[in-house]
Structure 1
Amino acid sequence: MMTYILTSLLFAALLTYLIFRAVSISRNKQRPATDGYFISSQTQSNERLASLGLDVPSENAAHILDKTRLSVPDEKAPGEEMKFEPDPETAWIIELAPAGDAPLRKEYLRNMFDAKWHTEFESEIYGLIPGDNRWTFAFAGGAPDLFSKIRIAVDLKEIYKDDEPEIDSRKLEGYLTELESRMKSYPVAARLQPMEPVADAVVKARKLVQRYHGFNIDAIIVLHGERPFNGMAAWDALLSVGLSWGDGDLFHWSNYDSGYGHDQHFSVWTSTAPGYFLPEEIKAGNMHPGDLIFGFSVPRSADPEHIFDAMLDAAKYCQQRLGGILVNRNGTMLQERQEKDELHELVREMKEEGLMPGSDGALRTF
């Protein structure tokens, strides 16, 4: 009996590690050039699948992923102007303004904010267009050559997210020290002014990082096989349920049409190397995934709770086709009610914090 319990615990621990590793892979779909990875259009991808005979499913179960099941907020109102300016809720902003009437020239700013700056001092540079009272990315294509002032926006969550709980003022003070040093070589006299004290920015950073780690959660369902699934059968089941193969060599339920939330409602990957699905390897019979991992980022999701319901049904369909068991991210038996209750509570807490899943603010933060 003890041996059985230990074996079960070791299996759950191993499965948890594999799922965690696979989630990390799915969050970072950039792969080395030596992987044979290349960017292609959707048309090229479709032609690639058609040439292999992997574009037509054996049955049509796409009704499972009927988007009328979802309740996605409306996109931005027609005619609403997109703004490009620093967000004081999430960034520490430092303003640089000329001491006199002369505008700031982009050619000088490029020298001031060179490659070394962007490498060592992560930030976004915005410029105020003279006479227009409108901000833009200072170095974007089509940006003007002159600015009334600029603002350096430091994303507090981004620079501190790996420092918790050791969040202090030294990083921000380093920005000011470096800017003051660089201003000495700027050909026009200018004033440097933080929009809020460093101490206040540190307090804000702690809150942002705490919120980031508290809400940066993926909804995960794993279909785990007692033995590796047949690659062709797994491919056909995913295609049959209405998923599309594409970005990152994963399967997706796409969300390109709503204008709200992440581009994908959910995706499917695997903990079996290499973590994604190359159609040529599937066709050749070289790839047989040991599991299928269904998942999405909750804070980036357009409609987390309804998408989870649809994802669960898709996973169950694949289970009917392929066999295996449904487990959670920890490798233990999936408890549907518990998973849904925990997701509901997470979404409620996010909304209480004024953070709507799938909103622009959520997409910028997570």
Structure 2
Amino acid sequence: MNFDYSDKVKDLQEKLGEFMDEHIFPHEQTYRDQLDKNDRFSSYPQIIDELKQKAKEQGLWNLFLPESEYGGGLTNVEYAPLCEMMGRSSIGPEVFNCAAPDTGNMEVLVRYGTEEHKDKWLLPLLNGEIRSCFSMTEPEVASSDATNIQASIIRDGDEYVVNGTKWWSSGAGDPRCKIAIVMGKNDPNAAKHKQQSMILVPLDTPGVTIKRTLNVFGYDHAPHGHAEIEYKDVRVPASNMLLGEGRGFEIAQGRLGPGRIHHCMRTIGAAERALEILCKRVQERTAFGKKLAEQGVIQEWIAEARINIEQTRLLTLKAAYMMDTVGNKEAKTEIAMIKVVAPNMALEIIDHAIQALGAAGVSQDYPLAASWANIRTLRLADGPDEVHKRAIARQELKKYQ
């Protein structure tokens, strides 16, 4: 495995780094200021459209799609350092059209969508004109086991009828969110992993009701939001079915692999930014007669942070390399490992940064508290730690059977 960056990637790193310094970091506060104070989900900050246009003009757009006529043509290994840089800011991924859940949904449409699906939904998503959500998790069942899903997708002539309640449909609070990929059961009597399907449901379809948006440790993540959605007798054309009945798990495997590793790449970026904030702050503050940077415990935190970031980055690159060379299915154990390691690594570094900054660390003056809250969700999203550890253990035990 050779993880040296190509000249193409180095050029993109330089351009992306300059863009982050010049346009992203200085406008994080602008983004917050432009959110509607009365209804934070009624509109979105206009600074995003301005920055998107600049990103398009500089060729920093849709970099996440590997081996595709629609994207940047980068491999997963090539995309990793760029995704990491975007992850240093909460608004960065959206500006480059590389934000979840849109990236995963676009990959689904590229791989499994019909030409009609691509024309109607993929192209507007690729152009950054609309946004999307993924409706899988349900409030009434333990959705870490997706076979528990109870929402129904039943054929009725030339239509499918969708019924069920979903929550944590991230992105559905945004007024630009126009399409949902919904996972539900179409045949409860089929084999265990052939009961589920995925179908495209426009959010303006009669019977679709966004009941509320859910907070994450008090953060509403407006205008993105994490919605609870009721689908009641929702009728969509039969042509909206993705790939075919009973193939929901097959689609999920194709979608969640890249989605999981992208989260890990962005998480490394967030950890790097937390370490940078820590290192700068501790050289400016004095306690008990010497700079915080001279305190042994602080130096230990810094050393451990650098070690853990480097280890995590290497495991991420290994998983990306395997995805590129042997495919997502063969790389499933490496993807599971990095999905466990990355959030836990970042949470510890962010926590130490907050501790070093004291009260400032939990305030809105620094991105640390919001970053911690966001990354803590990644120990649940796309499968909780325990499920991934279970899969890793089973693969390890197979070696000795």
TM over 0.5: no
Structure with greater helix percent: 2
Q: For the pair shown, which has the larger CA radius of gyration, 1 or 2?
A: 1
TM-score, normalised with respect to structure 1: 0.25
TM-score, normalised with respect to structure 2: 0.24
Q: Which has the higher contact order (CA 8 A, sep 6+)?
A: 1
